[in-house]
Amino acid sequence: MQPTIVGLQSIFDEVWNCLVGEEVGIVGIYGTGGVGKTTLLKQINNKFCNELQGFDLLIWVVVSKVPNLEKIQEDIGKKIGLNNESWKTRSVQEKAGDIFKILSSKKFVLLLDDIWKWIDLTEVGVPIPNSKPVSKVVFTTRFFEVCGTMNTNKDFKVEYLTDEEAWKLFEKNLKSEVLEHPDIPQFAEVVAKECGGLPLALLTVSRAMSCKKKPQEWRYAANLLRNSASKFAGMGKEVYPLLKFSYDSLPSDKIRSCLLYCSLYPEDFQISTQDLIECWIGEGFLDDSNRSGAYDQGYYIIGILVHACLLEEEKHYIVKLHDVIRDMVLWIANDIEKEKENYLIGKWVGVRKISLMGNTITILSQTPKCPDLQTLFLNQNQLLTVNDDFFDFMPSLKVLNLSLNYVLCKLPIGVSKLVSLQYLDLSRCTLIQELSVELKSLTNLKCLSLVYTIFLKTIPRQLISNLQRLHTLKMFGCEDSVLFDGGGEILVEECDCLEYLNVLSITLGTENALQRLLSSVKLQSCTQSLLLQGFHESTSINISALVTLKHLCELRIDEWQGSDIVNVGDVQKISELSSFYSLHDIRISDCYSMRDLTWIVFIPNLKTLFVDYCTAMQEIINVEKLGEVPEMTSDLIPFQKLQFLRLDYLNNLKSIFGKALPFPHLKGIQILDCPKLKKLPLDANSAKEHKMVIKGQEEWWKELQWEDEATLNAFLPCFKSETW
């Protein structure tokens, strides 16, 4: 009987069923180093050894980082009877012909472990499985891109273990008497959790701790792993070097520097990809001579890091550095202090990059001397004051992040002395009331974020327009400043003067201000986030006019009193394939007379929809309105790309859509205080590809009506009770 593999059984079953029951020829198994790919492949090998399932040959080959075609051919030759000395002297091409001749007449399974780059199977002599394959090729790799180059028919990612699975694997490798001491289990669970669900780390640490019977030893181990994991026995010699192979194999030093930069963020921090790219631009990692090219390059690099399993995609435009990978990256960064990139997290030393984010700092009264400092993260603290001379000896500073300091009332005048500064983030510094005119001296500034600085009332005229090198300006949720007089017309005029502006996030409050924005070809091309706040003098907002904003990603409408955002007559324009192609995030708040959002069915790539405090809304999509649209809507299926749906405080909402929808990408639904919503547009076939989470109040869940018993049973495990 096949033994159960801790944490890998479900993916093993999927791969096995794919190999013996589906018409696929090439299967890729990918994931980070030490996550269990080889273990999984060995189990597949063992099961085929026990039951060949009608195959004639089972072949196992270890490929490794630098593939050797002759070595691969010899390993295959041994299994098919080509192993004599005379055959070994033949050329690669001759061997390939011999192998091809034999394998073409066989039904074989070829298991290739540890592929790092594309291998031409025909050059080896392996027949490529066709569309109706009788043979199978299965390989493991750290890089998802290899799956593409190998032209796989199916790919499987080996994920990190859950906390429960990790504990089971960790406990399995301890001597039974170790956990008998009543004080050890609490520390042992912490130790296991610090391994981040990485099987290699769990096995390394559990072996080191297998005979430790004193709680003091376990407490020390927990603290060591939490604060200096590289010093723990085995981590710096077994775990990190294995992971470092992936780092070393990245295509360039630039990409390695971009990964190192991610270590400045704390554990489990969700990093905005756009913010990360803007920091990279500020640092000079990316070539910004082309306005949009730097962002494209940034997203390309993030893709490389994600496909190398060194960064994880959390959700749309959010990435995360896994705890163990972050520890490895810090281990690398601290090991190359002699190189140009010096990283220290939380220490004032003469280094190039310092992160003090999330340290509950309240006062910065000293005047540190950091002549080489380029990046300083002070965000997510509790700063009350920063001395005006704090920045006096930081002449090289390029990136300064002060965001999420909610109680900081004043920006220190010393910021204006940072003439090298290229990135300044003041987002969500909600108590800052003014920017000084001296900030005009920041002539090298490329990115300025003032997102949700809701009490910022004074921005001197011509300050924004004088920052001529700005590529990115974010003023989403910043509507109280003098530049917002007239609903934002003055602000729009200043933005239009910025020659290099490539990304604009802006709040507007009148139809005139919106028209001024839409009349600028430049601002049409760079507006990515738009908040329409108030529009009190307008009885309607013509959303169809926004189709000229080709790069609009995020749209929010707040405090509008009208009932219809778009007339049926304008739907034709919205429904054009090129319209709103980039728009993926919509939030509608405090629009008390709005009755429905039928127009959103024509947003082809909508991923997130959040509607709250719209008390007159009875349905999200009005099916009768759809019937008034020409025949193009007859086969329309809404929400094809939707991932997250949140509906809060919609007292009269009765329906989302009139019938069940497939929701192929839906990951989560949250419903709060929508007492009349008694049915969700789901059936047993909805959201089959994802493990959806449905959050709501217990009382609401109990009163839901379901399509049938099968639907209820399908979604019962998805519910998570939330109380507010």
pLDDT the model gives residue 43: 93
722: buried, middle or exposed (CB in 10 Å: 19+, 13-18, 0-12)? Answer: middle
pLDDT of residue 635: 67
Rounded to two decimals, the pTM is 0.83
Q: pLDDT of 455-490, one tens digit each? A: 998 898 899 999 999 999 999 988 766 666 667 889
pLDDT for 301 beyond 50: yes
pLDDT of residue 235: 86
Q: Which residue has the tokens 């809304």?
A: 617
CA 669 from chain centre, in angstroms, equals 19
If one counts every other C-beta atom within 10 angstroms of the C-beta of residue 579, the result is: 19
Distance (Å, whole) CA 326 – CA 340: 20
Confidence of residue 706 (pLDDT cuts 50, 70, 90): very high
Domain 9-157: what homologous superfamily? P-loop containing nucleotide triphosphate hydrolases (3.40.50.300)
pLDDT at residue 700, rounded to an integer: 94
Q: Please, which pLDDT band fits residue 574 given cuts at 50, 70 and 90?
A: low
Question: Residue 411 is encoded by which pair of tokens?
Answer: 């920006």
Instruction: Please report, for the chain, the start and end positions of each structural domain, with discontinuous segments joined by +.
Output: 9-157, 163-237, 250-341, 571-579+594-724
Tell me if 30 sits within 8 A of 79, measured CB to CB: no
pLDDT tens for each residue of 666-694: 999 999 999 999 999 999 888 776 678 99
pLDDT cut 90: percent of the chain above it: 59
Return the structure tokens found at 174.
């301890």
Supply the DSSP symbol for 451.
T
The pLDDT of 242-264, averaged and rounded, is 92
- For residues 703 and 678, is the Cβ–Cβ distance under 8 A? yes
Tokens of 110: 């070829």
Distance CA 478, CA 481 (A): 7
Highest mean pLDDT among 92-96, 397-401, 601-605: 397-401
- Closest to 603 measured CA to CA, from 650, 554, 530: 554
pLDDT at 349: 55
- The answer on pLDDT for 445 being more than 90 is yes
- What mean pLDDT value characterizes the chain? 88
Q: Which of 290-299, 365-374, 467-476, 480-489 has the lowest mean pLDDT?
A: 480-489
- Cβ atoms of 489 and 514 within 8 Å: the answer is no
CA atoms lying within 13 Å on the CB side of residue 213: 6
Could you report the per-residue pLDDT of 108-133, keeping only the tens digit for each?
999 999 999 999 999 999 999 876 77
Residue 668: the pLDDT is 93
Q: How far apart, in Å, are the Cα atoms of 643 and each of 637, 638, 687?
A: 15, 12, 10
- Domain 250-341 is in which class? mainly alpha
Q: What is the pLDDT of residue 565?
A: 62
341-360 mean pLDDT: 72
pLDDT of 339 reads 45
User: Tell me: the pLDDT tens digits for 322-334?
Assistant: 989 999 998 888 7
pLDDT of residue 633: 54
3-state SS, residue 584: coil
Give the pLDDT of residue 338: 42
Question: Is 90 exceeded by the pLDDT of residue 704?
Answer: yes
Residue 1's pLDDT is 45
Q: Which residue spans within 327-474 are E strands per DSSP?
A: 343-345, 353-355, 363-364, 375-377, 385-386, 399-401, 423-425, 447-449, 472-474
Query: d(Cα 416, Cα 442) in Å, to the nearest integer?
Result: 6
Question: Three-state SS string across 323-361, please?
Answer: HHHHHHHHHHHHHCCCCCCCEEECCCCCCCEEECCCCCC
Element holding 110 (H helix, E strand): strand 108-115
Q: Is the pLDDT of residue 356 over 60?
A: yes
Confidence at residue 343, expressed as pLDDT on a 0 to 100 scale: 58
